[in-house]
Amino acid sequence: MLELFPEKDKVDILDENESDKIESNMTDCFPIAFWGRIDWEKVSNKIILTKEHILNIPTVLFNQSLDTSVPVYLIVGIYKYPLVKTSLFKNNLKSLSTVQL
């Protein structure tokens, strides 16, 4: 899975235990739909981006006064494991925008 990220030293593939902790925290913070993903229809405070704007996520968040230095977590497995911990640096966003997970 690390081959998806050009800067592998800035990416952590979390083990099942750590993935479960993060997933538990996410379910405490966000409404989860029956299919196991965030139910975005029930989230009022959200920013909707088009596919073309995916590389501008750090700028969009910064313009909203959100901290872009905190880690982000990506659920890349079909059944929640593994989670990937990374940051919003541009090279990772380029890789993720071209890969269908």
Q: Which residue has the tokens 């872009």?
A: 68
CA distance 58 to 67: 9
Predicted TM-score (pTM) above 0.75: no
Label residue 90 exposed, middle or buried (CB < 10 Å: 0-12, 13-18, 19+): middle
Residue-wise pLDDT tens for the chain (101 aa)? 666 666 677 788 888 899 889 888 888 888 988 877 789 899 988 888 777 777 777 788 888 888 878 888 877 766 656 788 887 765 555 555 554 44
Query: What was the pLDDT predicted at 100?
Result: 46
Element (H, E) at 16: helix 16-29
Q: What is the CA radius of gyration of the chain?
A: 14
Backbone region of residue 67 per phi and psi (left: phi > 0; alpha: psi in -120 to 50; beta: other values): beta
Asked if residue 82 has a cis previous peptide bond (ω within 30° of 0), the answer is yes
